[in-house]
Every structure is written in structure tokens, then in C-alpha cells.
Amino acid sequence: MFEYLLNRKLKIVVVGDVFVSPETMAEAVKQSPLEAGEIVSCFWGKDDKQNFTERQINIERNGPEAESYAEGLDEAIVDADILFTHFSPVPRTLIEKGKSLKAIFTCRGGLEHICIEAASNKNIPVVNVIRNAEPVADFVLGLIIALTRNIAVSHRGLMEGKWMKNFPNSEFTTTLSQLKVGLAGVGNIGIEIALRLKALGVTVIAHDDYISKERLEKNGLSDMMLVSSLEDLFRESDVVSLHLRLTDDNLKMINKKYFSFMKPTAYFINSARGGLVDQEDLIEALKSRSIAGAALDVFDSEPLSSESELLSLDNVILTPHIAGQTVDAIPKAPFMLMKEVGKIINNGVTDRIVNYENILNDRLK
């Protein structure tokens, strides 16, 4: 596979942005097995991280047609062999203009910004990379401990001059090993979380319509129990953590129905996508204490409004969409992607090639 990219000079178009520069992407290409005869650099969006975030959310919810792509791509794509992007949209119209396009690379796990169907129709493989599975897994583990052991709320109390010893969950606060953690979705992040929890002696259960026993065995999780439905996961877990992609079908899927299944001693964590949750239903569950608490790194609208009722609750931890942010996760992503390209060229195999037939089943994060 990809033999046609070897032994020839390629025109490679790299599209960077405020988080991943075109210069970094070009350097990753130069260090790869690919021979670039020409590298054309484009920049998507503004040099403004808030603007990027707003456009990112729009694309994640509405697809690659929702935002304009980088300036200069109309001309550059016509005779390009490879398009290498971070988050710049790659809609159908752009793909159709790529008369010589052989592959599309993206240095992120999500694929909402690329029209996979159009690429597949032209037999153009899309290769992506999971750049932040470990940072997010570390973060979620931290949220579980901070939430169940009142670390965040007691810190806030001390900052307000309160010496707190009693909490709403004091009667059922327990050690980590006594909790049953339920993972809704077992992609790369879910697997990393499960491995961390397993090492700490925590019982982990999961629901994922697409995970295979072979993949669990390959990652040392053959003994992890899979439950048959999301409803069962919410009923049985002491902590529910979401790790799903946001699609038209699951927008605000986690609503009062699912919160009603949870134990009053159970906790809810969302570090995936804010749009998965009906935020008002979650607020009601927290206010009524029908669940013990929640930790949220993502919201239905970002940044979180200063008027949000979430800010007034004492049983929730709120963080500003930072679970995947470490000094190395995003900047190293282009180089991680080129390692995947090297695997394809050298071994002919990788699990990072996506096409339209498997995109709906892709749980990788």
C-alpha cells in the first residue's frame, strides 16, 4: 500500500493553523520516508486561539462544509499528490478539485473536518493519528479522584476561608478500588483509561457497539466486562465516563433518561464532546442530587457562559476543555502521523487508514 508514493518526487500541501504551524508540518514531512519535490504551505484561520475554538466546534457539529478552508488551497490542490492538514476543512468540493490527489493526512484523531465519503469515492485513503489519548486518560483519572474524594471542592472551600470536613457525599466516600467505573466508548482513550484503572485495582466495565474481543486482548484487557447496553452501563457504574464521538444521531443523547438510571451515589464525567449531553438535564440531576456529582471538561457552548447555572453548584468540577493539552501532545502530532505513514510504507499495515465504509464504526479518539 502507498507504493505509488515511493521513488517519486511529490507535491505535498501542508495546511497549518494557530496550534500546529505549517513549518512544523513541513519539517515532519522532511523527516518522513516521503520524498517531497515541492511543499506548499497554507494557513487556516486567524492567529487567534479563541477564533480557532469557535470554528472547531462548528465543524465538529456540522461537518467540513460548515467553515471555509484555507486560502490558497483551490490553486494548490489541483496538482497535489498529498494534502496534509490539521483542522482546515476538507469538503467534497475541495477533494473533487484534487485531480492528482493520492492521500489525505490529518494529524488529529477526529475526522469531522474531512468529507470521508468523497475521499472514498475517489479511492483516496485518509490517514489520521491519535495524539492525545494518554493526556486525556491521565486527566480523566485525575477527575475521578478529585471528584470522588472532594479534592476540588475542599480546595475551593479553603480558598473561601472554610475548613470543610463534611460533604454531600461524605456518607459514601470510599477508596478508588471500591468503585466500578463504566466507560461509554472504548477507543484509544477508553483503552488508556481502562489500563490505568486496572493497574490500580479498579473494576472497569464498558459499552461499545464496535469494540472487538481481539482488540481488548491485544491491549491486555481481555478480562474487562462489556455490558450489552448503555442503559446497563449507567445503572451498574459508580462512575460513568463518556468517550464517544459526536454525530447527528447522538446529539444530546445523554439526557434525563440516562441520568435517571444512575445511582444517587454515582458520578458522571464528560471529557469527550459537550454536545453529547443535554446540559440542562444534567444540571437538574445535580441540583436534585439524583446523582452524586459530575466533572466536565466540555460544554454544549464554549467558552462556558459566566451566567451558567453550573457555576453555582457545589457537586461539580468544571475545567475549560484542557484534557488533551500537554506541551507535547499537539506539537508532536505531525511527527506521530509521519510515523504511521512510515508503518504503511514499510509494513503495509496500520489501523489509522480510514474510509467511508468504516467511518461510522470508527471509535478511535
Give the number of other CB atoms < 10 A from CB of residue 95. Answer: 23
Q: Name the DSSP class of 304.
A: P
CA angle 99, 102, 103 (to 5 degrees): 125
What is the enclosing helix (H) or strand (E) of 205?
Answer: strand 203-207
Cβ contacts of 287-292, under 8 Å, gap ≥ 24: 287/313, 289/168, 289/264, 289/315, 290/259, 290/260, 290/262, 290/264, 291/259, 291/262, 291/263, 291/264, 291/266, 291/267, 292/168, 292/169, 292/172, 292/263, 292/264, 292/265, 292/266, 292/267
What is the enclosing helix (H) or strand (E) of 207?
Answer: strand 203-207
Give the number of other CB atoms < 10 A from CB of residue 348. Answer: 10
CB 268 within 8 A of CB 183: no
CB 10 within 8 A of CB 82: yes
Gap between the Cα atoms of 90 and 64, Å rounded:
6
H-state helical runs in 98-253: 116-121, 133-148, 151-159, 188-199, 213-218, 230-236
* Catalytically active residues, by annotation: 273, 302, 321
**Residue 42 backbone dihedrals phi, psi, to 5 degrees:** -130, 160
